[in-house]
Amino acid sequence: MNKDQLIKTAQAMVARGKGILAADESSGTIKRRFDAIGVESTENNRRDYREMLFRTTQAMRSNISGVILYDETIRQNARDGTPLVRLIGEAGSLPGIKVDKGTTPLSFCPGEVITEGLDGLAGRLQEYGRLGARFAKWRAVIDIADGIPTYSAINTNSNALARYAALCQEHDIVPIVEPEVLMDGDHEIDRCYAVTDWVLKTVFSDLYYQRVVLEGMVLKPNMVISGKKAARRAGPEEVAEKTVRMLKNCVPPAVAGIAFLSGGQDDEEATVHLNLINQLGPLSWPVTFSYGRALQHEPQKLWAGKPENVAAAQCAFAHRSRMNGLAAIGQWKPDLEKAA
């Protein structure tokens, strides 16, 4: 393990005013998103869409520190034959890779899942490293409902996250550790706080026992937020205050940085929350974004699979990236959205 290189890469992933583009949608997920805009989900269309994002020079150079890729994408070439990984690197960004294999029902835990992909992971990490990946991502999913989450689900998923992180570092790849507490239910914000607190404390205990170097990893957590179906949804200030309190209670200062997932928030909502969180600093870590839908929703709609729409879609992607880059340093303002 090259500890110094891991730390250098992790720091670059959370560089000031920059965040991570999550372009690692599975084939099923991107098909649903393409269906919504009337585009057939073929390999070439997926390639063209992602190439459009990676060729948005303003966004990639100024506000995107890294790109999480899917297995298909890390192997693809652009239309002119340039490997997409090289496009990302030439734009000043770092290529990364999603390495988990999705979720499956957890035995004896109705309504809960476990993330798979540890079998053979060491060999896949070696291959992805040769393909250019500098970091990796593994997502664990924790749901909130009546009677769940259980200790079994949290403990099992946490242990898998820690084992994945250790394997990554052994192969000189920075792990993004993503324990996502879903916001799909009707729970109040305090229930989200309690579960997220429980999850993160369990995860960092397991990371310690797996001897993971905290300075060489990035945490990708959910914000403390009400469920989408909650009768009373907490406002942005409460989300920011409780998220910061949770981070201070759970995340060791040694961690290289925190890159929030958007988790179903709409584009501007995710920006507002990130901005308010950073305005409550100074914090012990850089706090930035690792957004998928919250960066891509508007560009996807504008693109709609048509070459003549590429410029407009790239402008939308550059704008959303810039807004989140400003939010990552607490300098976003609503009038910037209106001006755009």
Residue-wise pLDDT for 39-77, tens only, equals: 999 999 999 999 999 999 999 999 999 999 999 999 999
**CA dihedral for 41, 43, 45, 49, sign (positive or negative):** positive
Q: What is the pLDDT of residues 113-154, one digit of tens each?
A: 999 999 999 999 999 999 999 999 999 999 999 999 999 999
User: What is the reported pLDDT for 1?
Assistant: 86
Task: Choose among 262, 129, 257, 144: nearest CA to 195.
Answer: 144
- What one-letter code names the amino acid at 302? L
User: What is the reported pLDDT for 338?
Assistant: 80
Task: Choose among 137, 301, 152: nearest CA to 219.
Answer: 137
Give yes or no for residue 340 having a pLDDT over 70.
Answer: no
Cα gap 42→40, rounded to integer Å: 6
Segment 238-242 shows an average pLDDT of 98
Task: Please pick, among 31, 220, 301, 338, the residue that the annotation labels catalytic.
Answer: 220
Q: Among this protein's residues, is 98 annotated catalytic?
A: no
Cα gap 163→47, rounded to integer Å: 32
Task: Choose among 270, 200, 202, 203: nearest CA to 239.
Answer: 270
Dihedral of the alpha carbons of 114, 161, 188, 145, in degrees to the nearest 10: 10
- Rounded mean pLDDT of the chain? 97
User: What is the reported pLDDT for 27?
Assistant: 87
- In angstroms, the Cα distances linking 9 to 73, 121, 135, 136 are 21, 21, 8, 12
Q: Domain 3-339, what fold?
A: TIM Barrel (3.20.20)
Share of the chain above pLDDT 90, in %: 97
Residue ranges covered by each domain of the chain: 3-339
